[in-house]
A and B are shown apart, each in its own frame.
Chain A
Amino acid sequence: MNTNGTIIRMSDIRKVYDTGKVKVEALKGIDLEIHKGEMVAIVGPSGSGKSTLMNLVGCLDTPTSGEYELGGQAVSGVSRDTLAEIRNRRVGFVFQNFNLLPHISAQENVEMPLLFGGVRPAERRERAKAMLERVGLGDRVDHKPTELSGGQMQRVAIARALAMNPDIVLAVEPTGNLDSTAGSDIMSIFTDLWKQGSTMVIITHDPALARRASRVVEIRDGRITADHPSEA
């Protein structure tokens, strides 16, 4: 399934958190390539730097040093607005705590990235609805997040992540706040997406989820310590 185009290319990425007195080096030189169509699980103990890596991959944060290309586009040193555009076009996020906007409907939540991406209203509505149907929420478009279960909220988040047809779907502990049934639902959706050709990066503690990946990258103390195809 590998190597028909590099989506992510990181070389010697470092991230230092400077909290005034203490400097924490969270990433100590990461070299990582992810190719189109891969489903990569990033695993590692707590505090190893998974979230930090995820934030950098998703252009939510910038590295202290190192080179990063996303979809062939250099990310280092670009303006905030360009970063916003890159996030909008190339990355779909799925967070552990969903991060939906609470006051608006599922449909409107999914429309959000389309709105920022400058998609016209009619097309926005259509695409958002199609995405919600794709994750099995065609009958919940007008529900607000508070009116949905955890699993349903995460499916809205997945629909939102897919709305702009990104280069990569980036998920952080996507099953972390879900019970096992809802969790395995979400895993199935991920597997389906992968089979349909999406490139996925999933940061997780969950061995069950990691097993579904095509490749597992292990991080320990800010370094990649193992990188191998999934056992499954």
Chain B
Amino acid sequence: MITLKDVFKQLIRDVRNEKLRTFLTVFGIVWGTVAISLMLAFGTGLHRQIIKSTAGLGDRIVIVWPGLTSIPFEGLGKGRRIRITEDDIVSVRSDVAGLKAISSEYSTNMKVDYGTKTMSVDVSGVSPEFGSMRNLIPQSGGRFINPIDMDKQRRVAFLGEKLTRDIFGESQAVGKTVLINQSPFLVIGTLVKKDQDSSYSGPDAGKMWIPSTTYRALTGEKYVNNFVFQADAATNTKRIIERTRAAFGKRLRFDAKDKEALSMWDTTEQFVFLDIFMLAFNSFLGIIGVLTLVVGGIGVSNIMNVVVEERTREIGIKMALGAKQRWILTQFLLETLLVTFLGGVIGFGISIAVCAVFPKLGFTEYVGDPVVSPLVSVLTAVALGIVGLIAGYFPARDAARLDPVVAMKL
């Protein structure tokens, strides 16, 4: 029996003997794998970075401001001011199916004192859900407003990171007490530094949040400034917007089509644009990737062709000595597989290395950090391998089909 060991010994020898050729083939596959892996890695990194800075405002949320009616409704004239209370929010929350979260937001400018410092700060009264919708992530050791704070109308405050620095400098903020409009508030958390490229009332870094129940008790405010909601799935947002507007319309008596009675900012539109942009970007990368594969494949298959031509005489000699077609082909196939495997592993390694080094170069803020997908690398190497295999297989088969005399003369 011809053992697997025999096959592999032959293989290693052939690969060793043809260093340049092996190098070229491996290089072709390495190059293709690196090019495609890195391209898609940078694409993914960029995508994530854009999402990260866009999501600074919130994760696919809708922000709603009550306004003036623009359409007469059931005998009521237009230009009527719409005011929304906490009861309206509670009622709509239970009426609208598919509403994942909703939070009212009351806000005004208040005087904040700490020690000898006095400053004027935008303070918002919100519910616990607001934190997750708006990506208000606490630094470790702190927390956002919770349901108990709401129930008990606790005097607790969550601070933006710039505001924290302005008030406390480098010292610990959580656990300290500040005065808001002369009332003492316990600092329960501070915001992590985040990338935020859009806002509707100034960046979060300079703001302060307190429970909306506390806010109302403190100020006597009955009407929300605005509210924020999130659909159960981003793709449902349009539908939930309609339902929400209709629910408020029914309750506060305005036309369900009246876009000015409630003006809404659907931040998912940004994401939709982003999704389209990324689709285009990825298609672009995909086309380049395919071209790279084609060019790489042509290279690899050329080399394989040359290999077979070079070795036709050798094939002839082996056949004269009694090698069967199957042996010859198996050897070519295994050789291609080995070379592909080698190229794929090296290519993947290089891609990983580049991705490991890249974050140290300081471009992260602009283009994000590339993330290599092992799947892409494997698929690329496999694709190139298949091209090589096909390119190597057919000439090898043709050579093995020649009469040994003919093959030996070539």
A226 proximal to B (CB < 8 A)? no
Q: Within B39-98, which residues are at the interface with A (CB < 8 Å)?
A: none
Report if A116-B2 is in contact (Cβ < 8 Å); known contacts: A55-B405, A87-B321, A99-B408.
Answer: yes
Report if A60-B325 is in contact (Cβ < 8 Å); known contacts: A99-B320, A118-B1.
Answer: no
Asked if A160 and B321 sit within 8 Å, CB to CB, the answer is yes
A5 proximal to B (CB < 8 A)? no
Binary contact readout A54-90 vs B (1 if CB under 8 angstroms, 0 otherwise)? 0100101110000000000000000011001101110
Contact of B323 (CB < 8 Å), options: A61, A116, A164: A116
Asked if B404 and A60 sit within 8 Å, CB to CB, the answer is yes
B5 proximal to A (CB < 8 A)? yes
Asked if B325 and A115 sit within 8 Å, CB to CB, the answer is no
A190 proximal to B (CB < 8 A)? no
Report if A115-B320 is in contact (Cβ < 8 Å); known contacts: A60-B403, A101-B314.
Answer: no
Asked if A81 and B320 sit within 8 Å, CB to CB, the answer is no
Shortest beta-carbon distance, A13 to chain B, in Å?
16
B111 proximal to A (CB < 8 A)? no
Asked if A115 and B314 sit within 8 Å, CB to CB, the answer is no
A117 proximal to B (CB < 8 A)? yes
Q: How far is the CA of A183 from the CA of B27 in the complex (A)?
A: 47
Binary contact readout A98-135 vs B (1 if CB under 8 angstroms, 0 otherwise)? 01110110000000110111101100000000000000
Report if A104-B1 is in contact (Cβ < 8 Å); known contacts: A60-B403, A60-B405, A121-B6.
Answer: no
Q: How far is the CA of A100 from the CA of B13 in the complex (A)?
A: 15
Q: How far is the CA of A112 from the CA of B5 in the complex (A)?
A: 14
* Contacts across chains A and B counted by CB atoms under 8 Å: 66
Binary contact readout B319-333 vs A (1 if CB under 8 angstroms, 0 otherwise)? 111111111000000
Q: How large is the interface on B (under 10, 10 to 19, 20 to 34, 35 or more residues)?
A: 20 to 34
Asked if B405 and A115 sit within 8 Å, CB to CB, the answer is no
Report if A116-B314 is in contact (Cβ < 8 Å); known contacts: A103-B13, A103-B17, A121-B6.
Answer: no
Q: Within B1-29, which residues are at the interface with A (CB < 8 Å)?
A: 1-3, 5-6, 13-14, 17
Asked if B6 and A115 sit within 8 Å, CB to CB, the answer is yes
Asked if B2 and A118 sit within 8 Å, CB to CB, the answer is yes
Q: How far is the CA of A118 from the CA of B404 in the complex (A)?
A: 20
Q: How far is the CA of A160 from the CA of B6 in the complex (A)?
A: 18
- Across the interface, which residues of A come within 8 angstroms of B326, CB to CB? 81
Q: How far is the CA of A62 from the CA of B370 in the complex (A)?
A: 61
Contact of A84 (CB < 8 Å), options: B1, B17, B323: B323
Q: Which of B2, B3, B5, B322 has the most CB of A within 10 A?
A: B322
Binary contact readout B355-379 vs A (1 if CB under 8 angstroms, 0 otherwise)? 0000000000000000000000000
- Across the interface, which residues of A come within 8 angstroms of B2, CB to CB? 115-116, 118
Shortest beta-carbon distance, B395 to chain A, in Å?
18
Report if A89-B322 is in contact (Cβ < 8 Å); known contacts: A104-B13, A116-B2.
Answer: yes
Q: How far is the CA of A115 from the CA of B321 in the complex (A)?
A: 10
Asked if A112 and B318 sit within 8 Å, CB to CB, the answer is yes
B317 proximal to A (CB < 8 A)? yes
Smallest Cβ-Cβ distance to B400: which chain A residue = A80
Q: How far is the CA of A61 from the CA of B324 in the complex (A)?
A: 15
Report if A84-B6 is in contact (Cβ < 8 Å); known contacts: A99-B408, A103-B17, A116-B324.
Answer: no
Q: How far is the CA of A113 from the CA of B320 in the complex (A)?
A: 9
Asked if A99 and B317 sit within 8 Å, CB to CB, the answer is yes
Q: Within A38-68, which residues are at the interface with B (CB < 8 Å)?
A: 55, 58, 60-62
Report if A88-B404 is in contact (Cβ < 8 Å); known contacts: A116-B2, A116-B327, A121-B3.
Answer: no
Among all A-B residue pairs, the 9 with the closest Cβ atoms? A88-B322, A116-B322, A103-B17, A113-B321, A60-B405, A60-B404, A84-B324, A116-B323, A81-B324
Which B residues form the contact surface with A (CB < 8 A)? 1-3, 5-6, 13-14, 17, 314, 317-327, 401, 403-405, 408
18 intermolecular pairs with C-beta atoms under 8 Å apart: A60-B405, A80-B324, A80-B325, A80-B401, A81-B325, A84-B322, A84-B325, A85-B322, A87-B321, A87-B322, A87-B404, A88-B322, A93-B321, A103-B14, A112-B321, A115-B6, A116-B322, A120-B1
Beyond the given pairs A89-B322, A118-B2, 20 more chain A to chain B contacts, judged by CB atoms under 8 angstroms and listed by A's residue number, are A61-B403, A61-B405, A62-B403, A81-B326, A84-B325, A85-B322, A87-B322, A87-B404, A99-B317, A101-B314, A101-B318, A113-B322, A115-B6, A116-B2, A116-B323, A118-B1, A121-B5, A121-B6, A160-B321, A164-B322
